[in-house]
Amino acid sequence: MQQVTVTEHLLLNQKQSPMATGRFTSLISELILSAKIISREVTKAGLVDVLGFTGDTNVQGEKVRKLDEFANNVLIHRMRRSGVLCAMASEENGDLIQISGDLPKGDYILIFDPLDGSSNIDVNVSIGTIFSIYRRPLKKSGENPTLEEVLQRCDKQVAAGYFIYGSSTMMVFTTGAGVHGFTLDPSVGEFLLSHPNMMIPEQGRIYSVNESYWNYWDNPTKDVISYFKSTKTALGQPYSSRYIGSLVADFHRNLLYGGIFMYPAKQNPDTGKYQGKLRLTCEAAPMAMIIEQAGGLATDGVNRILDYTPSELHQRVPFFVGSRNDVMTVKDIMGQAE
């Protein structure tokens, strides 16, 4: 069997992809090395002291787990020395992470969720790392990029992807020329092409949502969930409900089998306001780029995620992502209510 590595794949597709430059390739190679280190640590969880909490609370108001912190530190440490970035942002850090003084800088901006699904760490359920890459729009040499330069319209992403630490470790990513999946072969330590040109079925058969929030949803959202609970798919079967609680894992399954993942806005009992949970820059936007490249759709219920321009680094957004027909159904139901 022909075994194609990520680097080979980028080089082989050089003609089609303007991203296959040496600098972009080294950015991806550093990301891969970081993910291998995180994967190694995840695999050892339970044997070494990486389970449980650090005692800190992050900028999202969440209790930080030891593996959240480990993954974040690995990515920041490795990527800031890559020489190809001018700034980074992480789910775990309140502010932009600048590339300090004497380190070499490049044009790329990296935004990441170092460990996604971290509530599943201690119970051996799949978790992941999500990344999103932009280019710096106007390069002013020597100066660090401003927040405005980082908060670009989401369709300006030049690449996006995720690593999933599951029954095997996989990397799934796009540079705007389709979605390709690579599986880590632990015996050689390389990610090898296993899922070329991934496409999500147009019609899904799974819906994924945390239904315990029912009482916190507005009526159009309840109508959407009722639809998926009570309607047969165009394939003639009822939908199946599957919810892991790791966006990466729920997304990955739906990408392969067809389906829709939903994290609707829910009401904050203190303020009365409706808000999504998932973060636009490090969760929704990269997944939206991947799903569109795989033939699916991603919206906030009505509007396309990739048309958003974030107004702040940790902006949250309602998120509906998956098979084209299913996301369109949500839009039809929610659009009627508007």
| Binding site as annotated, residues | 91, 113, 115-119, 210, 243, 277, 283
Question: Measured from the CB of residue 53, what is the shortest distance to ligand AHG in angstroms?
Answer: 13
Give the single-character DSSP code of 283: I
Question: Measured from the CB of residue 114, what is the shortest distance to Mn ion in angstroms?
Answer: 6
Render 67-118 in DSSP notation, one character per residue.
Answer: HHHHHHHHHHHHHHTSSSEEEEEETT-SS-EE--TTS---SEEEEEEEEESG
Nearest to residue 100, comparing CAs of 89, 87, 90, 110?
87
Rounded CA-CA distance 208/153 in Å is 27
Single out the segment in contact with ligand AHG by CB under 6 A; choices: 97-105, 116-124, 138-146, 192-200: 116-124
Give the single-character DSSP code of 155: G
CB atoms within 10 A of CB 186: 13
Examine residue 246 and tell whether it contacts ligand AHG (CB under 6 A): yes
The interface with ligand AHG within residues 174-213 (CB under 6 A) comprises: 210
246 contact, one of Mn ion, ligand AHG, none, CB 5-8 Å limit per kind: ligand AHG
The interface with ligand AHG within residues 285-304 (CB under 6 A) comprises: none
Examine residue 106 and tell whether it contacts ligand AHG (CB under 6 A): no
Residue 271 CB partners (closer than 8 Å, separation 6+) = none
Closer CB to ligand AHG, residue 176 or residue 245? 245
Which tokens hold the place of 258?
Answer: 């067809």
In DSSP terms, 184 is beta-bridged to: 191
Examine residue 250 and tell whether it contacts Mn ion (CB under 5 A): no
Which of 118, 152, 157, 175 contacts ligand AHG by CB under 6 A?
A: 118
Rounded CA-CA distance 134/159 in Å is 7
Which of 69, 91, 292, 326 contacts ligand AHG by CB under 6 A?
A: 91
Which tokens hold the place of 251?
Answer: 């997304």
Which tokens hold the place of 233?
Answer: 């798919």
Examine residue 305 and tell whether it contacts ligand AHG (CB under 6 A): no
Question: Measured from the CB of residue 278, what is the shortest distance to ligand AHG in angstroms?
Answer: 6
Question: Measured from the CB of residue 184, what is the shortest distance to ligand AHG in angstroms?
Answer: 21
Closer CB to ligand AHG, residue 65 or residue 136? 65
Give the single-character DSSP code of 145: P
Rounded CA-CA distance 2/89 in Å is 37
Query: What is the contact mask toward Mn ion in residues 97 to 136, using x (rule: CB under 5 A)?
Result: ----------------x-xx--------------------
> Is residue 116 within 8 Å of residue 162, measured between CB atoms?
yes
Which run of H or E residues covers position 331? helix 324-337
Residue 209 CB partners (closer than 8 Å, separation 6+) = 225, 228, 241, 243, 261, 262, 263, 264
User: At 313, which amino acid appears?
Assistant: L
210 contact, one of Mn ion, ligand AHG, none, CB 5-8 Å limit per kind: ligand AHG
Examine residue 116 and tell whether it contacts ligand AHG (CB under 6 A): yes
Residues that contact ligand AHG, how many (by CB under 6 A): 11
Annotation: binding site for substrate: 116-119, 210, 243, 277
The interface with ligand AHG within residues 23-82 (CB under 6 A) comprises: 62
Examine residue 69 and tell whether it contacts Mn ion (CB under 5 A): no
Examine residue 233 and tell whether it contacts ligand AHG (CB under 6 A): no
Rounded CA-CA distance 147/94 in Å is 12
Examine residue 90 and tell whether it contacts ligand AHG (CB under 6 A): no
Q: Which residues in this chain contact Mn ion in the complex, by CB under 5 A?
A: 62, 91, 113, 115-116
Q: Which residues in this chain contact ligand AHG in the complex, by CB under 6 A?
A: 62, 91, 113, 116-118, 210, 245-247, 277
